[in-house]
Amino acid sequence: MLIEARAFDPDLGNFDHQLDPLLQRIYLARGITDQAALQRQLSCLPSPSSLQGIDLAVALLREALAEQKRILIVGDFDADGATSSALMVLALTAMGYRHVDFLVPNRFDYGYGLTPEIVDLARESQPQLLITVDNGISSIDGVAHANSLGMQVIVTDHHLPGAELPAAAAIVNPNQPGCQFVSKNLAGVGVAFYLLSALRGELRDSNWFADNGIAEPSMASWLDLVALGTVADVVPLDQINRALVHQGLLRIRAGHCRPGIAALLTIAGKNPQRLVATDLGFAVGPRLNAAGRLDDISLGIQCLLTNDPQQAMETARQLDELNQDRKIIEQDMQREALAIVENIPLSLDGEVPAALCLFQPEWHQGVVGLLASRIKEKFHRPVIAFARAEDGQLKGSSRSIPGLHIRDALDSVAARNPGLITKFGGHAMAAGLTLDEDNLPAFELAFQQQVEQTLSADDLQAKLVTDGELQDEQMSMYTAQLLRDSGPWGQLFPEPCFEGLFLIKQQRIVGANHLKLVLAPQSDPRRELDGICFNVDIAEWPNHQAQSVRCVYRLDINEYRGQENLQLLIQYIQVC
pLDDT at 162: 87
Strand, helix or coil at 510? strand
Question: What beta strand segments (E) does 418-513 contain?
Answer: 423-426, 430-436, 463-466, 498-510
According to the model, what pLDDT value does residue 348 have? 64
Amino acid (1-letter code) at residue 515: L
Express each pLDDT in 178-197 by its tens digit: 999 999 999 999 999 999 99
Q: How confident is the model at residue 112 (pLDDT cuts 50, 70, 90)?
A: confident
**pTM of this structure:** 0.93
Flag whether pLDDT at 486 surpasses 80: yes
The pLDDT value recorded for residue 62 is 98
Domains of the chain: 44-318 (3.90.1640.30), 344-454 (3.10.310.30), 464-575 (2.40.50.460)
Asked whether the predicted pLDDT for residue 417 surpasses 80, the reply is yes
Average pLDDT over residues 288-314: 95
DSSP letter assigned to residue 402: T
Q: Is the pLDDT of residue 325 over 90?
A: yes
Give the single-character DSSP code of 377: H
Please state the φ and ψ torsions of residue 19, each to the nearest 5 degrees.
-70, 130
Res. 285: pLDDT tops 90: yes
What does the pLDDT read at residue 1?
A: 81
Which of residues 107 and 448 earns the better pLDDT score?
A: 448
Residue among 127, 133, 143, 14 nearest 76 (CA): 133
Q: Region 148-168: what's the mean pLDDT?
A: 96
Under a CB-based contact definition with an 8 Å cutoff, are residues 467 and 515 in contact? no
Contacts 24+ apart (CB under 8 A), 105-112: 105/74, 105/77, 106/77, 106/296, 107/77, 107/292, 107/365, 107/366, 108/365, 108/366, 111/395, 111/434, 112/76, 112/77, 112/425, 112/432
Of residues 296 and 97, more confidently modeled: 97
**Closest by CA position to 554, among listed 527, 528, 534:** 534
List, in sequence order, every residue forming a beta bridge with 569; answer none if it has no partner.
Answer: 532, 554
What does the pLDDT look like over 428-482, one tens digit per residue?
Answer: 889 999 999 999 999 999 999 999 999 999 999 999 999 999 999 999 999 999 9
Q: What's the rounded mean pLDDT across residues 130-152?
A: 97
Report the DSSP beta bridge partners of residue 515: 509, 533
How many whole angstroms separate alpha carbon 6 and alpha carbon 255?
37
Residue among 367, 384, 363, 380 at smallest CA distance from 447: 384
Give the residue-averaged pLDDT of 92-108: 91
426 pLDDT above the threshold of 90: no
* φ, ψ at 224 (rounded to 5°): -65, -40
Q: Phi-psi region for residue 11, left (φ > 0), alpha (ψ -120 to 50) or beta?
A: alpha
Q: How far apart are CA 263 and CA 259, in angstroms?
A: 6
Dump pLDDT digits (tens) for 32-52.
Answer: 999 999 999 999 999 999 999
- H helix or E strand, kind and range, residue 27: helix 21-28
How far is residue 141's CA from residue 119's CA, in Å, rounded to a whole number? Answer: 10
pLDDT in tens, 192-223: 999 999 999 999 999 999 999 999 999 999 99
Min mean pLDDT across 7-21, 264-278, 498-512 is at 7-21
DSSP 227-290: HHHHHHTT----HHHHHHHHHHHHHHHTT-S-HHHHHHHHHHT--GGG--HHHIIIIIHHHHHH
Judge whether residue 13 has pLDDT over 90: no
